[in-house]
A and B are shown apart, each in its own frame.
Chain A
Amino acid sequence: DTAVSQTPKYLVTQMGNDKSIKCEQNLGHDTMYWYKQDSKKFLKIMFSYNNKELIINETVPNRFSPKSPDKAHLNLHINSLELGDSAVYFCASSSRDRGGDTEAFFGQGTRLTVV
């Protein structure tokens, strides 16, 4: 069984379009994340969400918005896509203790190409 699954795996779209990436986890975790991996492989957190609190990385444009219908899902909506949005987007969920994240489980990634 896949722990964290995201769809689609590949997404090619034109500038200006609106698109969504879906993510589901079956691990029972309360906290989910979206990360962006750029062309140089650098990973940076975009959002974290734990059904109580949404934490937004202040550098993320407001064209990006997470939507969580329930604690097993955290979808990513992107409006007015730009060329610079091309990247691999990873969804993750985390097990936690009182201190913080004890392990993050990642999806296989969605390679977004904006043309």
Chain B
Amino acid sequence: AQSVTQLDSQVPVFEEAPVELRCNYSSSVSVYLFWYVQYPNQGLQLLLKYLSGSTLVESINGFEAEFNKSQTSFHLRKPSVHISDTAEYFCAVSDRGGGADGLTFGKGTHLIIQP
């Protein structure tokens, strides 16, 4: 079984400031790691994912996340945020045991961009 912890339920940031959304996970097996974004009244969209290879992964809209195995973390960062980044961000894991267990999500972090 695995679990995901997003310590911050809400992060207010001024526009053009940097931001980091924290994610830690716990699992007895190797995992794949994901960040999903949910804009108001919409479904979830994949922002970025780590499956293997380079531990630093990037999205097309300027977000990046780094897999740190020793700290079991997958924090999400952006050097300069925009108003349009206001959304709920979910960290998730899926285990690599071959089963169809789906994704285990953190409780989400609401990113609030202040002008």
Chain A residues packing against B (C-beta within 8 Å): 31, 33, 35, 40-45, 48-50, 53, 55, 90, 92, 94, 96-109
Q: B32 contacts A100, CB within 8 Å?
A: yes
* Chain B interface size range: 20 to 34
Query: What are the 5 A-B residue pairs with the smallest beta carbon separation, nearest first?
Result: A99-B96, A101-B94, A45-B102, A43-B105, A106-B44
Chain B residues packing against A (C-beta within 8 Å): 30, 32, 34, 36, 38, 42-46, 49, 51, 88, 90, 94-105, 107-108, 110
Which of A43, A50, A103, A104 has most chain B Cβ within 10 Å? A43
* Count of inter-chain pairs, beta carbons less than 8 A: 80
| Interface of A: prevailing SS | strand
Which of A31, A41, A45, A92 has most chain B Cβ within 10 Å? A41
